[in-house]
Structure 1
Amino acid sequence: MIRACLLGLFCIAICAPSANSDDTAGIVKEITGDLAYVSGLNGAASLGSQLQMDNGSTLQVIKKLDDDVLVARVVEENGSSIKVADRIRVVTTQTSGDAPRAVYATRVDNGPKMDGRLDDPAWQNAKPIEGFVQRDPGYWVPSTERTTARIVYDQRKIYFGFECFDSEPHKIVANNMRRDSQLWGDDNVQILLDTYNDRQTGAFFFVNSLGAKRDLILSREGRTYNDDWDCIWEAKGHRDDKGWSVEVAIPFDQLRFKDEEDAVWGINLARFIARKTESTALMIGQRSTSPTQRYRTTDLAELRGLKSLKTRRVFQIKPYVLPGAVKDLQADDPSAQTSFESGVDLRYGLTPNMILDLSYNTDFAQVEGDQEEVNLTQFSQFFPEKREFFLEGSNLFDFGEAATRRGGDSRPPTILFYSRRIGLESGEPVPILLGSKLTGKAGKTSIGALNVLTDSKTLHDDTFVQRSNFSVLRLKHDVIARSNIGAIIVNKQAPVPNAGWDQYNRAAGLDFSFSPSNALNFQGFYAQTWDSAEDAQTGAAGFLQATYSGGIYSSTLKYVDIGEHFLPKAGFVNRRAGLKRLRRYEAQFRARIPANTNLIRYISTGPRFRLFTDPSDPTNKVKFWDLQVSTYTRFNAGDWYRVEFARTHDVVERTFKPSKKRPDIIIPHGTYNFTKFGTGPYPSRSRKVRPEFDIEIGNYYTGKRYKLSLENTFMPSGKLSIETDYEVNWLRLPQGNFNIQVLSNRLIYSFSTDFYVKLFAQWNNDREQASVNVLLNYRFRPGSDIYFVYDQGFDVTYDHNLDDRDVLREWSERNRAVLIKVSYMLGM
């Protein structure tokens, strides 16, 4: 009897599930690159858990897709390779501190020949990088097309090679050849480098199959970016019957990093398949409604294998000559005046991570003018910086509230330093005599210093702009992961007639950014201003913001408090006329709802609410509020459709004129409530023909407003691009009817990735001006350019007849300029 019981207990022990075996055993369902998709662990493994195969291979859990499916990376293979249906079990549930994924660079004596093909011997020993997963439309599922990447480096450069296999190579989209064009609509690959591995800043690179390039500088964990940065790097593309490939070479002296025996950088590699609107990458963060999720620096792999990497102290001299002729018909002497200008830019590495830029007689003749915009509000317009000297390291000087969108349609920020205050007055350039800039990082502290001297000038309206000096000192210190504190001092100094340089405007502030998780961020600042004017008083401002960007939902809460006397003359303040003290509250919520249909991919919808108050007004503190509810439908083909409803309450403290050509029409004092409805389609940027139109209908203060915006882009090939934008606003007010029209056309023909010609023409009937700009740019070697510039401006005046129609009165030439600029980069 006892023997039978013992035998029964033994059988039960043999057959019962073990806590360390069957109940924690799973099966490999799919393999891509170094990733294995595992199911059947029944929640026994958490993020960071170590898994083991029967053959001894070790894996680490890096993503939980649902309660049953996990994504694990291969840490170590032991013997035979991992196969589908292999059994796997949990070794430990203790979270590992290792990075989710790691890729490796291989040292070579000489870098590969740059031709877009990965058949050079330099690539042979590089470790292949595979396992790209979808960001959209799927989430962490394998890409539908295979991508292989390799990384090598030599003493001077780091090289990236991509092989993008395609089952339908004849459908590869390549509409752009010119540098810095809109490559995100083409089939492209992307490289994100966080060279300090601090998860806060980065450099971002696009390349399409033609070898066209685009680069950006990222800051604030990738939440803000500067796409006018101009890095010196190379890229070549190649297409064949298997797909396409590219080679990228980035000089180390274009990047900032620490000297380390065994350096580790943050990295992400990505690919976009245009016809499928499929985004894939090595690392994917949480799902987000933001279209700029690809720029986020919080979710990166690690780049290892960078042995004995020594930063080179950069030393570059870039002189230029600028002969030309200018004819100003508004001047006392309207005859053509010839000129010959010259200058030089110098860049020197004081340390490997501290760069000094010096500029003498800085010139920006080749920079395209601002796009004409219509502004019918009481707020100022905000335009991005485009000038090269101010772009390098510009993310370090960021202080304050970031602009929500770019260009004239942006919601303007409150910032202490706005570089467009230097060398520009009322849209006219002011000569910059000398400029110096120091940017870099020492340990955990980022340092930025700027000093610029501008010359005096009499503007076309006879306004005299006196010589001024601008100085900025910016410090930012990393405190914990993805968080920092900082300080800034800004000074504008100018001479007083018959006295010294006693006229000044100064600003100083403290700021912080705190990210307790990848999805949550808090930031804020406190600042004060001082001015030398006799009646000036010290002003103060504060800002707080909380942002959540999670899976399906995202939200932002914002508070801004601007004192009556806060006036940073070298900054930008989104202040309305008539308000003394301004408090602004904002709240925004968005939900991205998957549709999972054959036609629609997802719907992004949500409200945004803004409230402006003036605490100093005892009778009516609320001065402005608006509520917008918008819905964007994303189709599987990459097209969008927008529907928006807005309700606005606006108190006009000071009368204003919405039109320059109709100064007789004035918006009077009063309290107004009006409603606006807008809708329109936005075709995919992958299409060769992209007609967009936007219609808005609603009230406008004392009357009505109807808006029609038409934009069309035609790209018959990668060489030719024709972009036409037209906007018309019909305003029907009791004092009279009028319309404001803006038309622009941009034609670009690219002979190669380094040689193009551009025609840019604009017309604005409200400003009664038109302009034509022709630019030919040939980059004959990295950093060295030849520019031919032709500018012509016109005055277009109208008579307003009794039928409220504009009748052309005169079309006359205002100015003309022909310039040739040659710059040559000398690297020491």
Structure 2
Amino acid sequence: MKKTGFLILLYFLISGVSVGQKINSSYRLNIQKTNEAISIDGKLEEETWLNADVATDFFMITPMDTSYSQVRTDVRMAYDDKNIYMIVINYHAVEGPYMVESLRRDFNFGKNDNFIFFMDPFEDQFNGFSFGANAAGAQWDGIMFDGGKIDLSWDNKWVSKVLNYDDKWIFEAAIPFKSIRYKSGIKEWGINFSRMDLKTTEKSGWAPVPRQFPSASLAYTGVLVWDKPPPAAGPNISLIPYGLSGMNQDRQAGESPQYRNSFGMDAKIGLGSALNLDLTVNPDFSQVEVDKQVTNLDRFELFFPERRQFFLENGDLFANFGYETIRPFFSRRIGLDAPIIAGARLSGKINKDWRIGAMTMQTDEVEENEINPQNFSVLTLQRRVFARSTIGAIMVSRQAGMFDYTLDNSSVDQPDYDRNMGLEFNLASSNNMWTGKTFLLTSFNPNTSGTGIAYAANLRYASGNLYWNWQHEYVSENYTAEVGYVPRKGFYKINPTIGYLFFPESKKILSHGPEISTKRFFNKDLEQTDNETSLSYKIRFRSQSNLTVWGSYDFIKLLDPFDPTNASGDTLATGSEHRWNAWGTEYTSKPQSIFTYAFAARVGGYYADGSRYNYRGEMGYRFQPYFSIALNANYNEIHLPEPWNVTSFWLIGPRLDLTLTNTFFITAFIQYNEQIDNINLNTRLQWRFKPASDIFLVFTDNYLPAPFYAKNRSVALKFTYWWNI
């Protein structure tokens, strides 16, 4: 506890000196209102563009951050009563065609020639929106949080066009005021523009950003200066109805096909320009891509990210409380075992300093599984302090019933309720070099004795060369988070990391340097139960390829019986101790090539004085911009004493992307997982016939590998339409 108090004090001291003028406040772009109709056609023809201010003379971010970019980019902006307009001329510095993967939406940033811009409509340097496109016209949009992270699962209504010429490509876009949230009455927004040019391997930005930070860092935005405050979005109500027809069949259980037809609706209601109310009735998420399978050799539950659109806008308010393995709220718990009847979600800005999030969701009963109706509710409040730091509070509740329920609720596995309350402080200095977090959580559950507690803190420093992070955690044995993600309980943990990067004057190597990290877990009596220590050396080449070599030492004292193959059913004894060493290497090829590849190898010890060999690879080929194919393969071979002996399994996942236009996509992939003896086939067709309005056709099958027998299959045809009132 003394360490926690000291770190909290240090946080406040650091934050106290971080208040000051915005770093790139001298980079200013004026935006004027236009009375001219702007046609989104990728052509610099309107009078508005001839008279607009130009953001040019971009600064290089990588490979070096000490000079102007060699690649010229010109940006112009304008607006009217309904939209923000932008036109960007992306000049070529080297002859040759552009480089993209495909026309797939929300593309991989590092594998495409692209232009992306970042908006901070509150000038809080913490939250915002990102829009852009690659050189073939594929769109990118995401919601920004934590000062520079982007959630690309967020999707909204806007239009764009890209035209290509011999010496340049032009991107033009119109973004409705109704599609974003912003504070009315202010005339200055944070903004920055980012350009990735793979032929020169340059990443550049209009307002300079140090190379150790992403170009999306809101700490380094310039200023968009409006000639008058942006107009109010006006009545901002969107209705998004859907219709679904589908079939499910569990052939393994001998069931007949079950057909379904359902209807539902989402609604988005703007309560002012910065606060949004989302409503949903009978939601369906059948169009969401299935999770990417992994070989599971872990002792604890795996984490899979949220992909459902309803939970995403301002999702950081709810999902980012805590750490990645200590989350009091995890939205994927909702609707996991029972259908959602309806829900409401209020989120956004109250003013420049305050944000609020409130959500309630009601699920139906599932009589055959003895699951009662459940209500899931979350309330969170966040206040900005100092330059870019925040203080937050959260309350999470799962309540059996909420409406009357009739099923027997005596099950020990499903108590009547589970509650969580917590406080959190997030540190982010004005220059982003100091970041960190500290939080305290308490839980209340009738099946546990007393109040459960979890607390943790970390402090990170990142300069151009040196970076380090200190993190420690504590979770009590009786802490529960049934609507969260806490795979491990009853431990203390310390996790320091330190690394250093050299930037040589070399034509081939961009940076290289060592990193050392250790994770140590202790039980309530402060006896060590885990020690995972690794030393690595990382090399990044100017071509954007990467090489890492590493070595590690592991010690594990099992707290529960554990099957080291997670497949046989035979287990190692509780309390048994295991030690081993391992080494490995990883390499990723340069993204400019039509053919790309990556590989990784791990060789070394394993539980029970055994050995584990792991080899992973990925190959990709693209016929740009219409077609790309990738093959992922993961092989594990485990040597153990009897009764396991030698165990091996493959995980193979070819994926095909066919993008005939930037509005019609076909994605197909196969996942063969030998560990769970399953082949998964998923094919998804998407036609975006209007902005944010889609028709989906989704096929999903699961097979036994031998004989090739269908265990279950489903087909879904879904129609969604975004209707602005």
Fold-level similarity (TM above 0.5): yes
Alpha-carbon deviations, 1:273-325, whole Å to 9, x = none?
Answer: 1122111101223341x5xx222111110110251312324200111110122
Counterpart CA distance in 2 for 1:106 and 1:667 is 71
- For 1:436, the equivalent position in structure 2 comes to 344
Counterpart residue identity of residue 193, structure 2? L
- For 1:820, the equivalent position in structure 2 comes to 717
Residues 1:324 and 2:222 aligned together: no
- For 1:220, the equivalent position in structure 2 comes to 146
Instruction: Pick from 278, 287, 290 the counterpart of residue 369 of structure 1.
Output: 290
Instruction: Pick from 236, 241, 263 the counterpart of residue 161 of structure 2.
Output: 236
- Give the CA deviation at 1:537: 2.7
TM alignment of 1:790-805, pairs within 5 A: 790-796=699-705
Counterpart CA distance in 1 for 2:440 and 2:574 is 35
- For 1:767, the equivalent position in structure 2 comes to 676
- Give the CA deviation at 1:457: 3.0
Residues 1:414 and 2:414 aligned together: no
Instruction: Pick from 129, 148, 166 the counterpart of residue 55 of structure 2.
Output: 129
- For 1:33, the equivalent position in structure 2 comes to none
- For 1:83, the equivalent position in structure 2 comes to none
- For 2:208, the equivalent position in structure 1 comes to 284
- For 1:682, the equivalent position in structure 2 comes to 588
Counterpart CA distance in 1 for 2:311 and 2:635 is 34
TM alignment of 1:329-344, pairs within 5 A: 329-331=251-253, 334-344=255-265
Counterpart residue identity of residue 253, structure 1? K
Counterpart CA distance in 1 for 2:218 and 2:277 is 26
8 Å Cα contact 2:28/2:222 also seen in 1: yes
Instruction: Pick from 545, 548, 560 the counterpart of residue 458 of structure 2.
Output: 545
TM alignment of 1:361-760, pairs within 5 A: 361-403=282-324, 413-425=325-337, 430-443=338-351, 444-457=353-366, 463-495=369-401, 503-518=416-431, 519-533=433-447, 535-575=448-488, 581-614=490-523, 616-617=524-525, 621-664=527-570, 666=572, 669-702=575-608, 703-735=610-642, 736-760=645-669
Structure 1 residues 139, 369: CA separation in 2 closer, same or farther (over 3 Å shift)? same
- For 1:263, the equivalent position in structure 2 comes to 187
Structure 1 residues 643, 245: CA separation in 2 closer, same or farther (over 3 Å shift)? same
- Give the CA deviation at 1:705: 0.1
8 Å Cα contact 2:24/2:221 also seen in 1: no
- Give the CA deviation at 1:717: 1.5
8 Å Cα contact 1:380/1:574 also seen in 2: yes
8 Å Cα contact 2:94/2:199 also seen in 1: no
- Give the CA deviation at 1:110: 3.9
- Give the CA deviation at 1:611: 1.1
8 Å Cα contact 2:476/2:490 also seen in 1: yes
- For 1:114, the equivalent position in structure 2 comes to 40
Counterpart CA distance in 1 for 2:21 and 2:713 is 68
Q: Percent identity?
A: 27
- Give the CA deviation at 1:241: 1.7
Structure 1 residues 399, 628: CA separation in 2 closer, same or farther (over 3 Å shift)? same
- Give the CA deviation at 1:696: 0.5
- Give the CA deviation at 1:185: 1.4
Counterpart residue identity of residue 176, structure 1? S
Instruction: Pick from 114, 126, 143 the counterpart of residue 69 of structure 2.
Output: 143
- For 1:167, the equivalent position in structure 2 comes to 93
8 Å Cα contact 2:190/2:223 also seen in 1: yes
Counterpart CA distance in 1 for 2:55 and 2:429 is 31
Counterpart CA distance in 2 for 1:550 and 1:234 is 39
Counterpart residue identity of residue 329, structure 1? R
8 Å Cα contact 1:287/1:552 also seen in 2: no
Counterpart residue identity of residue 105, structure 2? R
- When structure 1 is superposed on structure 2, of 479-488 and 662-671 the one drifting more is 662-671
Counterpart CA distance in 2 for 1:250 and 1:630 is 44
- For 1:153, the equivalent position in structure 2 comes to 79
Structure 1 residues 499, 337: CA separation in 2 closer, same or farther (over 3 Å shift)? closer
SS of the residue aligned with 1:295? coil
- Give the CA deviation at 1:263: 1.6
8 Å Cα contact 2:22/2:430 also seen in 1: no
- Give the CA deviation at 1:660: 4.5
Counterpart residue identity of residue 733, structure 1? L
- Give the CA deviation at 1:232: 2.1
Counterpart residue identity of residue 607, structure 2? Y
Structure 1 residues 612, 306: CA separation in 2 closer, same or farther (over 3 Å shift)? farther
Structure 1 residues 146, 329: CA separation in 2 closer, same or farther (over 3 Å shift)? same
- Give the CA deviation at 1:630: 1.6
- When structure 1 is superposed on structure 2, of 116-125 and 706-715 the one drifting more is 116-125
Counterpart residue identity of residue 500, structure 2? A
- Give the CA deviation at 1:499: 7.9
Structure 1 residues 361, 684: CA separation in 2 closer, same or farther (over 3 Å shift)? same
Counterpart CA distance in 2 for 1:662 and 1:95 is 61
Alpha-carbon deviations, 1:107-132, whole Å to 9, x = none?
Answer: 11245211222223331211111120
Alpha-carbon deviations, 1:779-808, whole Å to 9, x = none?
Answer: 000121001111111133xxxxxxxxxxx4
- For 1:77, the equivalent position in structure 2 comes to none
Instruction: Pick from 811, 814, 824 the counterpart of residue 708 of structure 2.
Output: 811
Counterpart CA distance in 2 for 1:437 and 1:163 is 39
8 Å Cα contact 2:561/2:571 also seen in 1: no
Counterpart CA distance in 2 for 1:452 and 1:680 is 43
8 Å Cα contact 2:65/2:210 also seen in 1: no
Counterpart residue identity of residue 250, structure 2? D
Structure 1 residues 502, 569: CA separation in 2 closer, same or farther (over 3 Å shift)? closer
8 Å Cα contact 1:111/1:153 also seen in 2: no
8 Å Cα contact 2:209/2:215 also seen in 1: no
- When structure 1 is superposed on structure 2, of 323-332 and 244-253 the one drifting more is 323-332
Counterpart CA distance in 2 for 1:666 and 1:372 is 25
- For 1:208, the equivalent position in structure 2 comes to 134
8 Å Cα contact 1:136/1:278 also seen in 2: yes
8 Å Cα contact 2:58/2:204 also seen in 1: yes
8 Å Cα contact 1:661/1:768 also seen in 2: no
SS of the residue aligned with 2:623? coil
Alpha-carbon deviations, 1:761-793, whole Å to 9, x = none?
Answer: 111111111111111100000121001111111
Structure 1 residues 97, 649: CA separation in 2 closer, same or farther (over 3 Å shift)? closer
TM alignment of 1:73-88, pairs within 5 A: none
Counterpart CA distance in 2 for 1:349 and 1:204 is 19
Residues 1:99 and 2:48 aligned together: no
Counterpart CA distance in 1 for 2:21 and 2:264 is 58
8 Å Cα contact 1:111/1:122 also seen in 2: no
How many residues align structurally?
A: 693
Counterpart CA distance in 1 for 2:276 and 2:567 is 48
Counterpart residue identity of residue 327, structure 1? Q
- For 1:14, the equivalent position in structure 2 comes to none
Counterpart CA distance in 2 for 1:311 and 1:658 is 59
- Give the CA deviation at 1:204: 2.0
Structure 1 residues 305, 327: CA separation in 2 closer, same or farther (over 3 Å shift)? same
Question: What residue ranges of structure 2 are gaps of 5+ in the alignment?
Answer: 1-19
- Give the CA deviation at 1:532: 2.5
Q: Which is bigger in relative contact order (C-alpha 8 A, separation at least 6)?
A: 2
Structure 1 residues 306, 346: CA separation in 2 closer, same or farther (over 3 Å shift)? farther
Counterpart residue identity of residue 610, structure 1? K
